[in-house]
């Protein structure tokens, strides 16, 4: 079975039906999906922001929240732990934001156990950082 790490940007792309969502959906169909518990936190926070900004209607917001709750069962989620936070592992060139770095370290943790075939992200800087750390993108 294909093992894919999905960061929040890739997940939200699918959830919101943004450009590129069809390719991500096709790639993740039937795959083992891996991520950090941050996926849930960041997704809910972004959905609240979009609803408050008037981008999402109340009904669309609720639909997205319900799907996020249902999708949690599709993911193997790793907790954000002290060992991930205390690690000195950082990309050689890119300087990821804190939560992006937590996603990268979580993906590497999964990758060390059994290879991850792709780190899925919609963020160009995150993609570069993943490549620098040796993750397939």
The token pair at 129 is 């950082």
Number of H helices, E strands in the chain: 7, 4
* Residue 33: per-residue pLDDT: 98
Hey, which CATH number is domain 3-132, 3.40.50.1820, 3.40.190.10, 3.40.718.10, 3.40.50.1010?
Answer: 3.40.50.1010
Residue range 47-73, pLDDT digits in tens = 999 999 999 999 999 999 999 999 999
- Give the pLDDT of residue 50: 98
Q: What is the pLDDT of residue 58?
A: 97
State percent of the chain over pLDDT 90: 99
Helix (H) or strand (E) holding 33: strand 32-36
pLDDT digits (tens, 9 = 90+) for 32-51: 999 999 999 999 999 999 99
Q: How far is CA 136 from CA 17, 72, 121, 129, 132, in A?
A: 24, 23, 11, 11, 10
pLDDT at 122: 97
| pLDDT score of 78 | 98
Distance between CA atoms of residues 75 and 102, nearest Å? 17
On whether the CB atoms of residues 7 and 34 are closer than 8 A, the answer is no
């Amino acid at each position: 079975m294909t093992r894919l790490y999905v960061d929040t940007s890739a997940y939200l792309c699918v959830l919101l039906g943004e450009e590129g969502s069809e390719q991500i959906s096709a790639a993740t169909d039937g795959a083992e999906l891996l991520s950090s518990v941050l996926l849930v936190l960041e997704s809910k926070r972004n959905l609240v922001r979009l609803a408050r900004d008037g981008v999402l209607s109340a009904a669309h917001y609720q639909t997205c929240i319900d799907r996020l709750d249902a999708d949690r069962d599709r993911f193997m989620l790793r907790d954000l732990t002290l060992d991930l936070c205390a690690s000195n592992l950082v990309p050689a060139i890119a300087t990821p934001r804190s939560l992006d770095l937590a996603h990268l370290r979580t993906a590497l943790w999964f990758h060390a156990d059994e290879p991850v075939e792709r780190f899925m992200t919609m963020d160009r800087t995150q993609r570069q950082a993943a490549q620098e750390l040796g993750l397939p993108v």
